[in-house]
Chain A
């Protein structure tokens, strides 16, 4: 299963980015092979629509789950329309996040965890 973790850096030892739409990087992780690929988030600086664009990118990668700190209303709508489970409240390193998911530590969110513009600088 392919999953996506929002990350501050581009390795498994990077910290989970607490924002979805405006996270620094996405780490796409294959839970079967353990392989991963980091991708810089080009939507991070958008004035508006960052969550929507990030959501589209993640959807296009065919992931089944997203691990992040918080997700806003627009991104949540995009991810849930594509049937992706969103796990919020995730912290620590990317590696710990993957481990936590394996251990069933997280519960899929049924609502966005924050309001619009949560990840904007200065907020």
Chain B
């Protein structure tokens, strides 16, 4: 079973929920796919024993073979290539913008002259190890890189179907989130009872509906704000899986890098219950969808 934890809005407590779910389940596998700001290791304190670099293939042009036909620029969906035809007294030139390249390979595959070679460009790192019984994998995008999905995909190559996998997804609703939650059996959306939390939650719900991934909601800092998130979930038939109250003690533990269930052992049962409820919701078809 793959359970991803996403949110739409940043800072709602995705990592808190993901980490504590993994800790409560004990032999879960944890995947930090928030590769622009991976931080689950702060709570889980894993021992890392493997590190690998993530590369994407970017084009390198052999100008001796290039006819400046412009095909590569046309097929590049991300506008990472610009072809200047040699005319009017200036030389032909192909400009490559590697930071826009997604490494799809279309340019080199479709170049009629065979003038494009792919060279590896490092964009990030994947580290793996274990935290007690939890196996841990985390991706990190290099500073200055704009394209995170290849790093997220590399993290997800470590998924094994046999155990419960918990994926900590990035915030937002664009490509990195899609890439992180894709293939999940269930997605937990963490939100807070504020207009901002509700707004971004509804965007994330739209994404999951489109992707046909069943989901439920965890309301963090549940005793602040207003009741509109609860109203929204009731109206949309979205189960609320857990409510985590706003408390100074929880915030203090968080600030010290101590997980919720280490600081408040009562929460362990709540997370185990939530995992069981996810199973029941899926079986009965009553998960949000």
Q: Which residues of A contact B (CB under 8 A)?
A: 43, 46, 48-50, 52-53, 55-56, 59, 62, 74, 77-78, 81-83
B79 A78 Cβ-Cβ under 8 A: no
B97 A74 Cβ-Cβ under 8 A: yes
Query: B60-93: contact bitstring with A at CB < 8 Å (1 yes, 0 no)?
Result: 0000000000000100001110111000111001
Taking the closest CB of chain A, its distance from the CB of B262, in whole angstroms, is: 40
A78 B84 Cβ-Cβ under 8 A: yes
**Which residues of A lie under 8 Å from residue B88 when comparing CB positions?**
62, 83
Contact A82:B100 (CB < 8 A) given known A46-B79, A52-B82, A53-B79:
no
Across the A-B interface, the 5 shortest Cβ-Cβ residue pairs: A49-B79, A83-B90, A52-B79, A78-B82, A82-B84
Taking the closest CB of chain A, its distance from the CB of B96, in whole angstroms, is: 10
Contact A83:B89 (CB < 8 A) given known A55-B82, A59-B84:
yes
B146 A56 Cβ-Cβ under 8 A: no
**Which residues of B lie under 8 Å from residue A82 when comparing CB positions?**
84, 90
Which of B80, B88, B95 has the most A CB atoms < 10 Å from its CB? B95
For the complex with contacts A52-B97, A56-B73, A59-B82, 8 further pairs of A-B residues with Cβ separation under 8 Å are A43-B79, A48-B79, A49-B78, A49-B79, A56-B82, A59-B84, A78-B82, A81-B84
**Which residues of B lie under 8 Å from residue A55 when comparing CB positions?**
82
**Which residues of B lie under 8 Å from residue A56 when comparing CB positions?**
73, 82-83
Taking the closest CB of chain A, its distance from the CB of B136, in whole angstroms, is: 32
Taking the closest CB of chain A, its distance from the CB of B48, in whole angstroms, is: 32
Taking the closest CB of chain B, its distance from the CB of A78, in whole angstroms, is: 5
**Which residues of B lie under 8 Å from residue A48 when comparing CB positions?**
78-79, 100, 146
A49 B100 Cβ-Cβ under 8 A: yes
Residues of A contacting B: mostly: helix
- Contact size range, B: 10 to 19
The 18 sampled A-B contact pairs (Cβ below 8 Å) are A43-B79, A48-B79, A48-B100, A48-B146, A49-B78, A49-B79, A49-B100, A52-B95, A53-B79, A55-B82, A56-B82, A56-B83, A59-B82, A59-B84, A78-B84, A78-B95, A82-B84, A83-B90
Taking the closest CB of chain A, its distance from the CB of B75, in whole angstroms, is: 13
Taken together as a complex, chains A and B put the C-alpha atoms of A50 and B78 apart, in Å, by 9
Taking the closest CB of chain A, its distance from the CB of B19, in whole angstroms, is: 31
| Chain B residue nearest to A55 in the complex (CB) | B82
| Chain A residue nearest to B147 in the complex (CB) | A48
Taken together as a complex, chains A and B put the C-alpha atoms of A59 and B95 apart, in Å, by 13
**Which residues of A lie under 8 Å from residue B78 when comparing CB positions?**
48-49
Taken together as a complex, chains A and B put the C-alpha atoms of A48 and B147 apart, in Å, by 11
Taken together as a complex, chains A and B put the C-alpha atoms of A108 and B90 apart, in Å, by 18
**Which residues of B lie under 8 Å from residue A81 when comparing CB positions?**
82, 84, 90, 93, 95
A49 B80 Cβ-Cβ under 8 A: yes
**Which residues of B lie under 8 Å from residue A62 when comparing CB positions?**
88
Contact A77:B90 (CB < 8 A) given known A49-B78, A52-B82:
no
| Chain A residue nearest to B174 in the complex (CB) | A47
A52 B84 Cβ-Cβ under 8 A: no
| Chain A residue nearest to B94 in the complex (CB) | A81
Interface residues of B in 254-268 (CB under 8 A from A): none
**Which residues of B lie under 8 Å from residue A53 when comparing CB positions?**
79
Taken together as a complex, chains A and B put the C-alpha atoms of A83 and B92 apart, in Å, by 11
Taken together as a complex, chains A and B put the C-alpha atoms of A83 and B78 apart, in Å, by 24
Query: B214-241: contact bitstring with A at CB < 8 Å (1 yes, 0 no)?
Result: 0000000000000000000000000000
| Chain B residue nearest to A47 in the complex (CB) | B174
Taking the closest CB of chain A, its distance from the CB of B261, in whole angstroms, is: 39
| Chain B residue nearest to A77 in the complex (CB) | B95
**Which residues of A lie under 8 Å from residue B80 when comparing CB positions?**
49, 52
**Which residues of A lie under 8 Å from residue B97 when comparing CB positions?**
49, 52, 74
Taking the closest CB of chain A, its distance from the CB of B288, in whole angstroms, is: 28
